[in-house]
Amino acid sequence: MAKLTNTEAAIEAILFALGVSVEIRQLCAALEMNESEVIQNFESLKEKYDNDNRGIQIIKLGDCVQMCTRTEYYDKLIRVCKTPKKQVLTDAILETLSIIAYKQPITKSEIEHIRGVSSDYIVNKLVEFGLVYEAGKLDAPGRPAQFATTEEFLRRFGIESKESLPRLDSDLEAEIVHEVEEETGWKFGFESEAIGTSEDK
């Protein structure tokens, strides 16, 4: 591996010691550097790890960075885990997750309007998997919970931030919205946004 600078080594030490995501502002405080300097050193460290084909990678998650194992070695890792748990993401779970990812924050009733079926169990499962969390309450009668994706979601799917989610072609997006509105009888009013469903219902 290419030799690290003192700053890169310091970032590596912090990320390794904490083992969780660290906010860039925290690194700025620890290293006594401004944000652009920290990001420049982080990117250089990340590139060195990538070029050296190591089992560890440095990733960016929104305003945070983290050191973690590469996903391609998961099958090796679970062999040494005492109680390995494989989370099965079914088509229904992925469909619900995509709706939450593109429309967050969103309530269960809004999800069910889009999917056309009860989604209580699936949303709870996504929370259990750590991919979704309760992000607050909607200011409406009953104060229903709103759900959004977690940092674990970004890690699992290799996405830097929710703004990095792939966008649908505008014509395809409008077609999907129209078909869902026709079937549910519910006007969404977000023609300019992608809904991210995996299949039309």
Q: Which domains does the chain show, CATH number per domain?
A: 6-74 (1.10.10.10), 91-184 (1.10.10.10)
Q: Give the long-range contacts of residues 75-82, CB within 8 A, separation 24 or more.
A: none
Q: Beta strands 106-107 and 64-69: pairing type?
A: unpaired
Check residue 140 and give its pLDDT: 85
Q: Please, what is the average pLDDT of the chain?
A: 82
**What is the C-alpha to C-alpha distance for residues 188 and 177, in angstroms, rounded to an integer?**
8
**What is the C-alpha to C-alpha distance for residues 115 and 99, in angstroms, rounded to an integer?**
9
Q: What percent of the chain has pLDDT over 70?
A: 80
